[in-house]
């Protein structure tokens, strides 16, 4: 049977009918993917995944779960998510620091580019 790609509305309806366990597993999956793409420095994908995860977090909060999250499996999933969040934060901080460093280096070269050209001209003339 040929499957068609779900539309955004259908995908959201599907999420709304899932059980709380599946929602937490989906949240964990998105967190794993965020880490994977942060490692590869795909900022646009990381941003999109974080947006999807934020929407999922809202749905989970609205469910007001007090059973699954305190079960053994729920505690394990939450612990794993917390560890993955910490790793993602470190990777994103690294990306931010690297971008700042590259920007600083670029600006430094832009600032010295004109002086270097002027100095070069002066050396040729003397």
Q: What is the pLDDT of residues 12-70, one digit of tens each?
A: 667 767 899 999 999 999 999 999 998 888 889 999 999 999 999 999 999 998 899 99
**Taking the model in full, what pTM does it have?**
0.69
Give the count of alpha carbons within 13 A of 33, CB side only: 16
In this structure, is residue 6 part of a structural domain? no
The answer to whether position 5 is within a domain reads no
Q: How many domains is the chain partitioned into structurally?
A: 1
What is the residue range of 103's domain? 18-125
| Greatest Cα-to-Cα distance within the chain, rounded to the nearest angstrom | 83
Separation in Å, CA 52 to CA 15, 26, 28, 36: 11, 10, 12, 15
Examine residue 45 and state whether it is found in any structural domain, yes or no.
yes
């Amino acid at each position: 049977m040929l499957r068609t790609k779900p539309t955004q509305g259908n995908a959201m309806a599907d999420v709304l009918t899932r059980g709380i366990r599946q929602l937490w597993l989906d949240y964990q999956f998105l967190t794993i993917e965020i880490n994977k793409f942060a490692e590869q420095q795909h900022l646009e994908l990381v941003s999109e995944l974080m947006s999807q995860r934020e929407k999922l977090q809202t749905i989970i909060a609205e469910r007001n779960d007090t059973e699954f999250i305190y079960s053994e499996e729920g505690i394990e999933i939450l612990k794993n998510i917390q560890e993955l969040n910490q790793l993602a934060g470190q990777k994103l901080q690294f990306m931010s620091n690297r971008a700042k460093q590259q920007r600083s280096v670029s600006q430094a070269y832009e600032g010295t580019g004109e002086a270097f050209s002027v100095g070069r001209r002066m050396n040729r003339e003397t």
